[in-house]
Amino acid sequence: MEFLYKRQLLLALIFLASQTIASHTCFSSYYKKIEDTATKTASKIKTVEEFEQAIKSNHFLIKNKLDYALEEDEKDGIENAHKWANLSIGPKINRDIKDFKGDFLVVGGGRSIGAITSISSSKEFLDKYGDEWRESGNKDKIARVEETEAEINEILKKYYTINIDTEADPDLLGSITSIGDTLSIPDNRFSTIRFEGVDALVFLNPDTLKILERITKANGKIIMDVTPMFARAVIVAFSGSKWEKQIYDQLDGKIYNDVTNNNMLQLTITN
């Protein structure tokens, strides 16, 4: 009887070990597939020549008489988009998204730099006076610092942040252009995604659009800023996507031949 029990226990342990190995192999294969996908991203971004051709054949740009040759700055921007294509610096999760109860994502945000507009002034105050007032022994000044810190923490509860800058202290250290870096974010997670201080060139990467479509809720909003200099490249990047018409409608009549105009164009698209 004891022999039979030991035999059954041994078989059970062998089975569990085989399942663990199989699971680990499957897990490793999955991430290897993700890594392979990420390394091929650069080839998905159009080359300068392909952007030139796309601009000349884009009906929206032709209608608005914006189908002229690419400027040097535009070419440089496209080349930079290629350089950033394989950017994957993480991911490093500083706050598990399971612990986040809100549904607002700030791309380019973080606790340290105050990139979230609504905490910028408070962050500047703390940077300037925080340590001095905290050590002053003055109860009113100490109370003011503590109140400001509490206000910032309360605001941050409403936002989840992703950034490639370690000094920004984001919730998720990683790139919005990387499938691997954004794996921890569930599907249909955010009702609002706001890009703050992020170069519009990230949208030239097709993976960025796939990621945004995946992590945004149905009817969720994606808010971005585009400089006129790169608006034509962004138009080409969104052409053929589910957001093409929304981009066209918002930029119609707002882009001019003077690509040196640096007035930001804020766009909001609905998933």
In tens, the pLDDT along 34-65 reads 444 444 444 489 999 999 999 999 999 999 89
186 shares its domain with 261: yes
Residue 245, in any domain of the structure? yes
Residue 51, in any domain of the structure? yes
59 shares its domain with 84: yes
pTM: 0.74
CA-based radius of gyration for the chain? 24
194 shares its domain with 263: yes
Residue 154, in any domain of the structure? no
Query: What average pLDDT is seen over the chain?
Result: 81
Q: What is the mean pLDDT of residues 124-146?
A: 89
Residue 169, in any domain of the structure? no
Q: Specify burial of residue 87 (Cβ count, 10 A radius: 0-12, 13-18, 19+).
A: middle
pLDDT of residue 98: 93
67 vs 60: CA distance, rounded Å? 9
pLDDT level of residue 202 (50, 70, 90 thresholds): very high
pLDDT of residue 241: 95
259 shares its domain with 199: yes
pLDDT of residue 88: 66
Residue 201, in any domain of the structure? yes
Are 62 and 144 contacting, i.e. CB atoms less than 8 angstroms apart? no
188 shares its domain with 246: yes
Q: Which two tokens stand for residue 92?
A: 């490093």
Q: What is the mean pLDDT of residues 170-175?
A: 92
Count CB-CB contacts under 10 A for residue 92: 11
Share of the chain above pLDDT 90, in %: 46
Residue 143, in any domain of the structure? no
Tell me which residue range forms the domain holding 50: 46-88+175-270
pLDDT of residue 189: 97
Count of the separate structural domains present in the chain:
2
